[in-house]
Amino acid sequence: MSSGQQMPPWLQEQIGKLQQSQQSLQSIMAQKQQVEMDSAEADKALEELKKAGDDDQVFKHAGSILIKSTKKQLIEELEEKKELSKTQITVLSKQEERIKSSLQEQEKKIQEMLKNPTPPNSNNPEK
Protein backbone atom coordinates (compact mmCIF):
# COMPACT_ATOMS: atom_id res chain seq x y z
CA MET A 1 0.00 0.00 0.00
CA SER A 2 1.58 3.30 -1.04
CA SER A 3 1.34 6.37 1.14
CA GLY A 4 -1.19 7.92 -1.26
CA GLN A 5 -3.67 5.05 -0.84
CA GLN A 6 -6.22 4.92 1.92
CA MET A 7 -6.64 1.83 4.04
CA PRO A 8 -9.57 -0.28 2.80
CA PRO A 9 -12.62 -0.31 5.13
CA TRP A 10 -12.37 -4.05 5.78
CA LEU A 11 -8.78 -3.63 6.98
CA GLN A 12 -9.72 -0.61 9.09
CA GLU A 13 -12.44 -2.73 10.71
CA GLN A 14 -9.97 -5.50 11.57
CA ILE A 15 -7.49 -3.01 13.02
CA GLY A 16 -10.30 -1.45 15.07
CA LYS A 17 -11.19 -4.89 16.47
CA LEU A 18 -7.54 -5.48 17.27
CA GLN A 19 -7.31 -2.18 19.14
CA GLN A 20 -10.47 -3.00 21.13
CA SER A 21 -8.98 -6.35 22.11
CA GLN A 22 -5.75 -4.65 23.17
CA GLN A 23 -7.72 -2.24 25.37
CA SER A 24 -9.66 -5.14 26.89
CA LEU A 25 -6.40 -6.92 27.64
CA GLN A 26 -4.96 -3.84 29.33
CA SER A 27 -8.11 -3.47 31.43
CA ILE A 28 -8.07 -7.11 32.52
CA MET A 29 -4.37 -6.96 33.36
CA ALA A 30 -4.95 -3.83 35.47
CA GLN A 31 -7.86 -5.51 37.30
CA LYS A 32 -5.76 -8.62 37.90
CA GLN A 33 -2.90 -6.53 39.26
CA GLN A 34 -5.26 -4.73 41.64
CA VAL A 35 -6.73 -8.00 42.92
CA GLU A 36 -3.21 -9.41 43.40
CA MET A 37 -2.25 -6.31 45.40
CA ASP A 38 -5.40 -6.63 47.54
CA SER A 39 -4.58 -10.29 48.16
CA ALA A 40 -1.01 -9.45 49.18
CA GLU A 41 -2.36 -6.81 51.55
CA ALA A 42 -4.72 -9.37 53.09
CA ASP A 43 -1.77 -11.75 53.51
CA LYS A 44 0.20 -9.10 55.39
CA ALA A 45 -2.79 -8.26 57.57
CA LEU A 46 -3.34 -11.94 58.38
CA GLU A 47 0.32 -12.36 59.25
CA GLU A 48 0.19 -9.42 61.67
CA LEU A 49 -3.15 -10.49 63.10
CA LYS A 50 -1.86 -13.99 63.84
CA LYS A 51 1.00 -12.42 65.82
CA ALA A 52 -1.51 -10.64 68.08
CA GLY A 53 -2.53 -12.24 71.33
CA ASP A 54 -6.01 -13.63 71.70
CA ASP A 55 -6.86 -10.97 74.28
CA ASP A 56 -5.40 -8.04 72.27
CA GLN A 57 -7.85 -5.47 70.97
CA VAL A 58 -8.14 -5.50 67.20
CA PHE A 59 -9.88 -3.13 64.82
CA LYS A 60 -10.95 -3.14 61.20
CA HIS A 61 -11.37 -0.35 58.69
CA ALA A 62 -14.87 0.68 57.75
CA GLY A 63 -14.50 3.63 55.44
CA SER A 64 -12.76 6.38 57.37
CA ILE A 65 -13.31 4.87 60.81
CA LEU A 66 -12.04 1.89 62.77
CA ILE A 67 -14.41 -0.60 64.35
CA LYS A 68 -13.49 -2.89 67.21
CA SER A 69 -13.68 -6.55 66.27
CA THR A 70 -12.40 -9.93 67.40
CA LYS A 71 -9.24 -11.59 66.18
CA LYS A 72 -11.19 -14.68 65.12
CA GLN A 73 -13.73 -12.67 63.12
CA LEU A 74 -11.04 -10.65 61.35
CA ILE A 75 -9.08 -13.78 60.47
CA GLU A 76 -12.23 -15.32 58.97
CA GLU A 77 -12.96 -12.15 56.97
CA LEU A 78 -9.39 -11.92 55.66
CA GLU A 79 -9.27 -15.60 54.70
CA GLU A 80 -12.59 -15.21 52.89
CA LYS A 81 -11.20 -12.14 51.11
CA LYS A 82 -8.11 -14.13 50.08
CA GLU A 83 -10.27 -16.97 48.76
CA LEU A 84 -12.39 -14.52 46.76
CA SER A 85 -9.22 -12.88 45.41
CA LYS A 86 -7.88 -16.27 44.37
CA THR A 87 -11.08 -16.97 42.42
CA GLN A 88 -11.01 -13.53 40.79
CA ILE A 89 -7.37 -13.99 39.77
CA THR A 90 -8.21 -17.36 38.21
CA VAL A 91 -11.10 -15.86 36.21
CA LEU A 92 -9.05 -12.84 35.11
CA SER A 93 -6.11 -15.06 34.13
CA LYS A 94 -8.39 -17.16 31.93
CA GLN A 95 -9.83 -14.02 30.33
CA GLU A 96 -6.31 -12.68 29.80
CA GLU A 97 -5.20 -15.88 28.06
CA ARG A 98 -8.32 -15.93 25.89
CA ILE A 99 -7.78 -12.34 24.77
CA LYS A 100 -4.07 -12.92 24.14
CA SER A 101 -4.97 -15.88 21.93
CA SER A 102 -7.59 -13.80 20.14
CA LEU A 103 -5.06 -11.00 19.62
CA GLN A 104 -2.61 -13.42 18.02
CA GLU A 105 -5.33 -14.64 15.67
CA GLN A 106 -6.37 -11.09 14.80
CA GLU A 107 -2.77 -10.05 14.12
CA LYS A 108 -2.30 -13.12 11.91
CA LYS A 109 -5.51 -12.28 10.03
CA ILE A 110 -4.37 -8.69 9.46
CA GLN A 111 -0.98 -9.90 8.22
CA GLU A 112 -2.74 -12.21 5.77
CA MET A 113 -4.97 -9.34 4.62
CA LEU A 114 -1.92 -7.19 4.01
CA LYS A 115 -0.27 -9.95 1.95
CA ASN A 116 -3.44 -10.57 -0.05
CA PRO A 117 -5.31 -7.23 -0.09
CA THR A 118 -8.56 -8.60 -1.54
CA PRO A 119 -11.54 -7.89 0.72
CA PRO A 120 -12.76 -11.07 2.42
CA ASN A 121 -15.93 -12.64 1.01
CA SER A 122 -15.85 -10.39 -2.04
CA ASN A 123 -17.60 -12.07 -4.92
CA ASN A 124 -17.79 -8.94 -7.06
CA PRO A 125 -14.65 -7.66 -8.79
CA GLU A 126 -13.71 -4.11 -7.86
CA LYS A 127 -14.89 -1.47 -10.27
User: Is pTM, for the whole model, over 0.85?
Assistant: no
How high is the pLDDT of residue 91? 98
Tell whether 3 is covered by a domain: no
DSSP state of 3: T
> pLDDT tier at 25 (50, 70, 90 boundaries)?
very high
Residue 1 located in a structural domain? no
Which residues form the domain of 28?
12-115
Taking the C-alpha atoms of 77, 80, 85 and 91 in order, what is their torsion angle to the nearest 10 degrees?
-150
84: region left, alpha or beta (phi > 0 left; psi from -120 to 50 alpha): alpha
Q: Which tens digits make up the pLDDT trace of 65-107?
A: 999 999 999 999 999 999 999 999 999 999 999 999 999 999 9
Within the chain, residue ranges assigned H as helices are: 9-51, 71-115
Residue 4 lies in a domain: no
Q: How many folded domains does the chain comprise?
A: 1
CATH number assigned to the domain comprising residue 62: 1.10.287.370
Q: Is residue 94 part of a domain?
A: yes
Instruction: Kindly state whether residue 2 falls inside one of the protein's structural domains.
Output: no
Whether the predicted pLDDT of 44 surpasses 60: yes
The whole-number average pLDDT for the span 30-50 is 96
Q: Is 126 part of any domain?
A: no
